[in-house]
Amino acid sequence: MHTRQLLAALAVVLVTATAGCGFITGQSALAFGASPATASDDAISETGYEELAVENSTVTRNFSAAGQTRQVEVTNQQARYERAVDLGPLGSQRAAVFVTFASPEVDVVGQTFNPIADMSTQEVLAQFESQYEGLRVGDRVQNRSVQTLGSQRTLQQFEGTAALSGTEVDVYVHATKFQHEGDYVVAVGVHPQRLDGETENVVALTEGLEHDGED
């Protein structure tokens, strides 16, 4: 999964209203930033995953306001975790992946915008399909309730397939999407179905999320 491609795919915020004086006069860009949503050290230690990267991406878009074109800057955050697993004939591969994405809610003259807000879980997962070695997400097979960041959230589980070393492998895809402290948070876990106990690792990482909000 290519982090920067995913950040760009999820980053477009549809702002069509005007903003404050500095924005309207062109003296400054209107900037919004998310805080990282990361797995806790305890959750990483418990599950055996490794943190690969926590990085941000700032996307600038031009919008019309008061007859002029001005800039809006949106900074999104993504964290990526992986675990090497034994896939038998395919050998050891880093095929267990957990990714979080945080995107700010944009507030312009009392109106709020964020593309993730109106996206279904399936639509969010569509952004991942071209990023995880031929991932294809199929039918939803289960919902479970998890406690994370102070509230009960729904973690959805889907069947799917992925191409690992040229071989099609059945995988499970887990996803949750919710709002927390001014940001929209998405967490996605992908792993081969043959791995016993890996679903519980995804649950532990999801329940161990940390996010301060309003960066």
pLDDT of residue 21: 36
CA separation for the pair 136, 126 (Å, rounded) = 8
CATH classification for the domain delimited by 33-54+78-210, as one of 2.60.120, 1.10.3470, 1.10.10, 3.30.70:
2.60.120
The tokens describing 181, both together, are 């402290």
Domain extents in the chain: 33-54+78-210
Determine contact, residues 79/100, Cβ cutoff 8 Å: yes
Q: Are the beta carbons of 143 and 167 closer than 8 angstroms? A: no
Tokens standing for residue 58: 């700032």
Q: What is the mean pLDDT of the chain?
A: 83
Low-confidence ranges of the chain (pLDDT < 70): 1-29, 63-70, 108-111, 130-131, 213-215
Q: Take residue 151 and report the two structure tokens written for it.
A: 């509230």
Strand ranges (E), the chain: 30-33, 38-39, 50-65, 68-86, 92-104, 106-108, 111-113, 136-148, 151-164, 167-180, 183-192, 209-210
**What is the pLDDT, as a whole number, of residue 14?**
35
